[in-house]
């Protein structure tokens, strides 16, 4: 694709290392139960999964941090975990990655969010979630804001990872806006529909196609609808850009001044979209923080997403894999 410069892209990726990205949002643990199905239960018309193994991975905002580290940068994370074994596991995994966990608070009344997926023959059979949505304690909000104040002069960008579990509340968002007022680093948001009015004057929001339609209050059926929805999103919160992920149709980037870039999907096999949005926002934010224009950063994030959806389970992209994907795709 001649519209993208492989040298520029590689140079941008080389600058991922040394970048420090602060992630704030809903921390989760993704649990996978792997097995196979050979019969239907005699008790109900449901498959019986014979379990082979179990595994756990970081989810939500913690998976964004995981992706950032995998792509070569330093990650700092703010959020909440419970005083429980899943919370201990999340903290242990983050520490192993070298993530700065100084912004994480442990709340005994708020259990760690756990999403459990039962997978048979490379396909999800069912998912069940353990969570308790209660407002953050005032002391927790203050701890996050104190951490933001301490780190704001040392970070390259900020990512708000909103899964609607209660961390990115109106009170916290107002506090964050006050703390980073005057800062020049980019702020990227993976949005939750109902919280969209809280994201004001950010650099980019990254909804999927369905979310974009819900936020804009319309059904996106064609290209004209897509453009109209993007304009509504940008006007609604005065964001500088909107990156809409569209599954098999790729991505659409809308920037100030009416510039639109469409990027085709490069995924050849889609086994699981779990965590793909986390990968997109991590790669895109690192791209613009490393000096790439938004169009080039979106292209990199599309390549990264194409890699992770080819794997079953929450996944990350290693920086060398991304470099190889750039070289391979642009040589066609």
β 251-255/260-263 pair status: antiparallel
Exposure string of 212-246, with b = 16+ CB inside 10 Å and e = fewer, is: bbbbbeeebeeeeebeebbeebbebbebbbbbbbb
Q: How far apart are CA 42 and CA 44, in angstroms?
A: 6
Q: How far apart are CA 245 and CA 311, in angstroms?
A: 18
Would the pLDDT of 215 be above 50?
A: yes
pLDDT of residue 286: 97
Architecture of domain 11-37+47-330: 3-Layer(aba) Sandwich (3.40)
Exposure string of 189-207, with b = 16+ CB inside 10 Å and e = fewer, is: bbbbeebbebbeebbbbbb
Would the pLDDT of 267 be above 70?
A: no
β 47-60/27-40 pair status: antiparallel
For the segment 259-270, the average pLDDT, to the nearest whole number, is 76
pLDDT of residue 1: 46
Using only C-alpha atoms, the chain has a radius of gyration, in whole angstroms, of 20
pLDDT-derived band at 332 (thresholds 50, 70, 90) equals low
Q: Which of 317, 332, 24, 264 is nearest to 167 (CA)?
A: 24
Would the pLDDT of 82 be above 50?
A: yes
The catalytic residue among 278, 293, 320, 321 is 278
pLDDT of residue 74: 97
Residue 40, SS3? strand
Would the pLDDT of 268 be above 70?
A: no
* Mean pLDDT value across the chain: 91
Percent of the chain scoring above 70 in pLDDT: 95
pLDDT of residue 247: 82
Q: How far apart are CA 118 and CA 313, in angstroms?
A: 10
Residues 215, 179 contacting (CB under 8 angstroms): no
Residue bearing the bigger pLDDT, 187 or 246: 187
Would the pLDDT of 284 be above 80?
A: yes
For the segment 144-149, the average pLDDT, to the nearest whole number, is 98
pLDDT of residue 314: 55
Q: Is 278 in the active site?
A: yes
Dump pLDDT digits (tens) for 33-48: 999 998 999 999 999 9
pLDDT of residue 30: 94
Residues with Cβ within 8 Å of residue 130, at least 6 apart in sequence = 111, 113, 114, 116
| Distances from the Cα of 318 to the Cα of 65, 83, 97, 244, angstroms | 13, 31, 13, 23
pLDDT of residue 4: 76
Contacts 24+ apart (CB under 8 A), 252-259: 252/226, 253/294, 253/295, 253/298, 254/227, 254/230, 255/294
Would the pLDDT of 6 be above 80?
A: no
Tokens of 86: 């899943």
Of 8-12, 44-48, 95-99, the least confident? 8-12
> Domains of the chain: which residue ranges?
11-37+47-330
For the segment 134-151, the average pLDDT, to the nearest whole number, is 96
Would the pLDDT of 189 be above 80?
A: yes
Dump pLDDT digits (tens) for 193-203: 999 999 999 99
pLDDT of residue 174: 97
Q: How far apart are CA 67 and CA 70, in angstroms?
A: 5
Would the pLDDT of 22 be above 70?
A: yes
What predicted TM-score, i.e. pTM, was given to this entire model? 0.93
pLDDT of residue 329: 73
């Amino acid at each position: 694709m001649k519209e993208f410069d492989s040298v520029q892209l590689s140079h941008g990726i080389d600058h991922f290392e040394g970048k420090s990205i602060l992630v704030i949002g809903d921390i989760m643990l993704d649990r996978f139960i792997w097995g196979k199905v050979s019969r239907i239960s005699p008790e109900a018309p449901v498959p019986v999964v014979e379990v082979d193994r179990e595994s756990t991975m970081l989810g939500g905002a913690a998976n964004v941090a995981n992706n950032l580290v995998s792509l070569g940068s330093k990650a700092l994370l703010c959020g909440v975990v419970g005083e429980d074994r899943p919370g201990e596991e999340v903290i242990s995994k983050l520490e192993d990655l070298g993530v700065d966990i100084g912004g994480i608070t442990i709340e005994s009344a708020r259990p760690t969010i756990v999403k459990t997926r039962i997978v048979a023959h490379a396909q999800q059979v069912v998912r069940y979630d353990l969570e308790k949505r209660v407002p953050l304690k005032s002391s927790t909000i203050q701890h996050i804001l104190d951490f933001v104040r301490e780190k704001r002069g040392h970070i390259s960008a900020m990512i708000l990872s909103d899964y609607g579990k209660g961390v990115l509340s109106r009170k916290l968002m107002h506090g964050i806006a006050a703390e980073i007022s005057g800062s020049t680093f980019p702020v990227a948001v993976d949005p939750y529909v109902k919280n969209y009015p809280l994201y004001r004057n950010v650099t980019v929001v990254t909804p999927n196609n369905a979310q974009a339609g819900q936020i804009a209050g319309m059904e996106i059926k064609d290209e004209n609808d897509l453009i109209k929805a993007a304009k509504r999103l940008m006007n609604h919160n005065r964001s500088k850009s909107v990156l809409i992920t569209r599954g098999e149709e790729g991505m659409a980037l809308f920037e100030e001044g009416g510039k639109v870039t469409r990027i085709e999907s490069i995924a050849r096999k889609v086994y699981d979209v779990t965590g793909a949005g986390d990968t997109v926002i991590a790669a895109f934010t690192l791209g613009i923080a490393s000096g790439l224009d938004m169009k080039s950063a979106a292209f990199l994030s599309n390549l990264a997403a194409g890699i992770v959806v080819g794997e079953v389970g929450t996944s990350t992209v290693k920086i060398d894999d991304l470099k190889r994907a750039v070289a391979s795709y642009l040589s066609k």
